Amino acid sequence: MQSSLTEPPAAEQLPADSRQPREHTKESKQDGKLGLFRLLLKDRFATASALILVVVGLTALIGPALMGDLATKQNLLFANKAPFTVAHGWEYFLGSDSLGRSMLARLVVASRTTLSVAVPAVAVALVIGSLWGVWAGYHRGWRENVSMRIADVIMSFPSLLLAVVVLYVFSPSAANIVLILALTRIPIYLRTARAESAELQSRTFVDAARTFGAKPSAIIVRHVIPVVLPTLLTLATLEFCYVMLAESSLSFLGIGIQPPDVSWGLMVSQGRQYLQTAWWLSIFPGVAIVVTTIAANVLAAWLRIATDPAQRWRLALPRKRLIARIPVKETQP
C-alpha cells in the first residue's frame, strides 16, 4: 500500500477544478436568459405585446425602403378610396388620402418618424437621468439636495405645456422635439435612480467593496448600476408610451413633425376634417398609436414582475394555480 506522502499530486485536476466556477457562472447566466424567455412564452399577453413591438420596430427599420416613393406619390384619381380592397392594387388595401397617396405606405413611413423621435428621447433621458441619479444617491449630501431641487424645478412645469412653449419659440424640428421631451423626462429617471442608489449605498456588499478600497466610480459601475438597471428599463418602457403620445399630441397641434415628413400624430391631425367622409385617414394611425402604447404598457408590467425576485414566482405558476392561491375575502352579512 502506498502512503499518502508517496502518492503523485493530481496536477492535471487543478486546472479543471479552477475552471469550474467560471463555467458554472456562464451556465447560470445562460439559464437565466432562457428562463426569462420561457417565462415570457408562458404569458400570452406579454408574448403578443413583445411580438407587436418587434413588428413595429422591423416595420420602422426596413418598411420605408420596401415602400419606395409610394408614401409621397400622388394620384388624384384614387383620392379617398375606401380600405379593405385590392381592386386598385395592394398598396391601397388600407385606402388612400385626399391626394391619392397610399395609406399603407404612409403608415409604414410614419412609424419610422414616430419611433425616431420616441426612442432617442427615451434613451437620452434614461442615460442622463440614471447616471445622475445613481451618482447623487450614492454620494448623498449636497449633491443629492441640489439634484433633487433641479428635478423639482423641471417637474413643476407641465411637460407637454413646456414642450409647446419651447417649440413655439424655436423651430418645430425633430431634433428639438427629441431634446425637449428628453429634458422633461430626465427627472423621472433621476428621482428613481437616486432612491434606489441611496438604499443600496448602505448594503453589506457595497460596504465590503468600500472596505477593500474600491473607488466610488468602480462601486457604482460594478455593484450599484447592475442592481438598479432592471427597474430603470421597466420605467423606460413605460416612458416610451408617454413620449410617443406626447409626440403625437404635438404633431396633432401642428407644432410637432412638419410636412413633408409624416408621423402617426400628424396623420391623425390631417385626417380629422375628413372623419365623416373618410374615417380611415385618422382611425388607422390612431389605432397604430393605441396598439403600440398598449403593447409597451403590457410588456412593462410583465418586466416589472419578471425582474423582481420576490414576485417572479407568479409568472412560473400556471394561471389556474395562481388564481387558486389568491385568498378570497368572505363577505360579512
CATH number at residue 103: 1.10.3720.10
For the chain, give the mean pLDDT.
Answer: 82
Model confidence at 332: pLDDT above 90: no
225-253 vs 103-139: helix crossing angle, rounded to 10: 140
In a domain, 1, yes or no: no
H-only helix segments in 212-279:
216-219, 225-253, 264-271
> For residue 263, how many C-alpha atoms fall within 13 Å in the half-sphere facing its CB?
27
In a domain, 330, yes or no: no
pTM: 0.78
Grid coordinates representing 332?
360579512
Distance CA 5, CA 12 (A): 18
Q: pLDDT (tens digit, 9 = 90+) per residue, 93-120?
A: 998 888 889 999 999 999 999 999 999 9
Model confidence at 125: pLDDT above 70: yes
In a domain, 289, yes or no: yes
Number of domains in the chain: 1
- Which structural domain range is residue 284 located in? 63-311
Distance CA 25, CA 20 (A): 9
Three-state secondary structure readout of 65-127? HHHCCCCCCCCHHHCCCCCCCCCCCHHHCCCECCCCCEHHHHHHHHHHHHHHHHHHHHHHHHH
CB 127 within 8 A of CB 190: no
Mean pLDDT of 198-227: 86
Mean pLDDT of 218-239: 88
In a domain, 72, yes or no: yes
In a domain, 113, yes or no: yes
Model confidence at 326: pLDDT above 60: no
Q: pLDDT (tens digit, 9 = 90+) per residue, 22-60?
A: 444 444 444 445 577 788 888 889 899 999 999 999 999
In a domain, 261, yes or no: yes
Distance CA 256, CA 269 (A): 11
Give the pLDDT of residue 28.
45
In a domain, 26, yes or no: no
In a domain, 54, yes or no: no
3-state SS assignment for residue 43: coil
